[in-house]
Structure 1
Amino acid sequence: MTGAPLTKVDSAVEQPDAAKKHRRSSSSATNVHNINDLEKEGVEIKISPETQQLNWKVNTSPGTIDDKEALKKPLCNPMVKKIDLHFPLGLGVTARNLKGVTIKDALDAIHKQFKKKQDDELELPYLAGFEWDKDESYTRFVVHLKKDGAPVSKKSKKKGAAEE
């Protein structure tokens, strides 16, 4: 017997190309990042502007939103696996999706907190949008709420300027 390395599969021989693989490679999508890795790399995050036009009431199901296509869009770019959503009063929820957090994932996480609340219990019932302040906390978005669901009309501003 020679000292040549074995070529057949043998449990006693370590296979160089059989590197330890992560078992669930299919559940992780490409171009989806961990927010902590993005922070280390100093990557700028852009929140989808569609979140500001949803006119969504936080105690109603995200399925009630008219713009179904907006729900499928990523919440931010680059896409992340999870993001903490922080409310000004201190409440925090986490939206998760291994294929990239979508606007619907974020709304689902928020809805879970508010679905049992009655309309009169909510001072600011409508989603105004999200804010990312990398200086305050890189790994979370601040959730902004507003009193009215109707979009702010730009005509009223023009009207006021015309009266001067």
Structure 2
Amino acid sequence: MATSPVETRGHRRASSSASGVLGATDLTEDHVLNLPKEAAKIGWKINTASSTLQEPDLLKKHLTTPPMKKIDLQLPTGLTITARNLKGVTFKDALDAIHKQYKKRADDELPEPYLAGFWHDEEDKGKAILRVALGANGPPTSSKKKGKGADKE
């Protein structure tokens, strides 16, 4: 009895996800989601595109270690947004998911229009949930940029 080609191939999407990237079911109580230090101080306006971030290199970095395929972002307003990427959720994926919810809102409609950062709460241990901190103030101004501009004059 011959086997059909469909039976021998296996599941087709196995190659679409990167190795080392965890799914929500792979996360256990032992896993701790570590965030890079840049996740605590972002200062991005949530109703603007992610490309307007002052540090464009940050967009390429994974949001968590180990990388996750899907992460729920809980905002202080009670809204939960899901960021997805089969190769691991990056900062760009998270910012784009937040922007999608707020892109049609005017500045005066948002009491806290700036993303202050992300953190993983102890009570969410073993879950792919990150808390989002919003703030009323934008990114801190750097004195280095002002100094370079003064030298060019």
In the other structure, the counterpart of 1:9 is none
Specify which structure has the higher proportion of helix.
Answer: 2
TM (norm. structure 2) is 0.82
AA in 1 matched with 2:52: T
Q: Map 1:38-117; keep pairs closer than 5 Å.
A: 38-39=27-28, 42-117=30-105
Identity %: 47
Structure 1 portions without partners, runs of 5+: 1-11, 154-164
Structure 1 vs Structure 2 CA RMSD: 2.1
In structure 1, distance between residues paired with 2:63 and 2:25: 17
**Retained in 2: the 8 A contact 1:36–1:139?**
no
| Greater RCO structure (CA 8 Å; 6+ sep) | 2
In structure 2, distance between residues paired with 1:135 and 1:52: 19
> Would you say 1:128 and 2:132 are equivalent positions?
no
Q: Map 1:20-39; keep pairs closer than 5 Å.
A: 21-39=10-28
Aligned partner (choices 127, 132, 136) of residue 143 of structure 1: 132
- Deviating beyond 3 angstroms after TM superposition, the runs of 4 or more aligned structure 1 residues are none
Structure 2 portions without partners, runs of 5+: 143-153
Number of residues of Structure 1 aligned to a counterpart in Structure 2:
139
In structure 1, distance between residues paired with 2:40 and 2:114: 10
